[in-house]
Structure 1
Amino acid sequence: MAVREETRPGAGAGGSPPDFIAAVAAMRAAPLRPEILCEEMPAPQRIAPHSFALSADVTVDEVDVGTGRIILLHDPAGNDAWQGTFRCVAYARADIDPELITDPMLGAVGWTWLTEALDAHGAQWTAASGTVTRVATESFGGMADEEGTAQVEIRASWTPVAPEAPLTGPPDLTPHVEAWGELLCTAVGLPPVPEGVATMPNRRGQRGR
């Protein structure tokens, strides 16, 4: 299951460190649910020496109900704030029932969608931080007949942890991308995949143009 690859500086092009190249390959290989359309996107170039990014839309009954992105940052020299040489930065936005917008637990629950997904997929991580934002839209005047809408936005970053000795090498980014995909699906209200059922390959880089 291959993501459409677009070689660019900092995205696994020639000259990138082997650990970064291996991490990017693991991200590209991560299986995601078929409701997710995933493709590569330009990654920020000024935050870290090397970066790679994926974007995704969640579609249910041919309607886009959620969107997100995950960015991998790598600084071979290390970063004290990251507590490591790699950092994942993720974003997820989903439509929700407008009645949920006033739920005082929405923020805390939204954050656990991420942390529980990371743990469920066996991702090793540390130093997580982020925000959960609720957005409500009401219409007035000539648009007063339109129903209100609500969305939840989750922004987070965390440090993927590399294998412990005697193993060596970069952190395995596959479970981190899988967890991000699960976060997107949970946020839009899709039921979890039953235990024992294999996740089918998702649509990669097949968006109509």
Structure 2
Amino acid sequence: MTERRILGRNDSRKSFSAQEHTKLRQQMLDQTPKEFTWLMILDGDEIWPTKSIKKTTQYIRKNPQTDSVVVRTHNLVGDIYHRLPESAGHYQIAGHKGHLSLRFINLKNTPGLCVKKPHGQQGYFDGQGTLIQDRDPKKIKFIDVYYHHATHLQRSATKSADRQVTKRAQKLKHQLGKKISKTQIPKVFFKSHPKIVPSVTLKAPLSFWLKSILLTPLRYTKRLLLPVNTSGY
């Protein structure tokens, strides 16, 4: 279910407020067929390797007693070939810490499922008002696979256009990244595409890495000295 389908094809807005974003997610949830067992949360900047999605879907088909599924994320920096180190991840879910994300929710086991709070603090809650990731940890399955998250990359034709999107300016990040193995990069990045679609395979320019060399030590120092905000951004 996409925003365009929810809003109608004639809605040409390029950006939505934090509150509107939550309303859209709730509308998508409301229109999800009730006979479905599992809900997959998938944003437009998330790319799953084939092995990761196969392993995860195989698990949920065989384990209907599980309430939700958490996986790792490769948060890309600079280009599709680098990611933030795991030490930079601060999320803690069901006994695990790092770059984590809850991406599957069992609809049958979660009565009253709804979306609350503005984008940035947004979350999925059960009918009792409990965040899904704060429910019984024994029923939250951690699967050690990953998807690639382009949240820190420029996603519009120009930087100025990117900054028009809600909270995009603060997400663009200059930081030295860990090189991703070629075998871990999704093959879809390299498939042929229409000319109107920009290539995502270009490497980050030298200027990006020079700026990152200056800023990365400051980010590490900030992480050590200041408490981590785990409630959103």
Shorter-chain-normalised TM-score: which range? under 0.3
Q: Structure 2-normalised TM-score?
A: 0.22
TM-score by length of 1: 0.24
More helix by share: 2
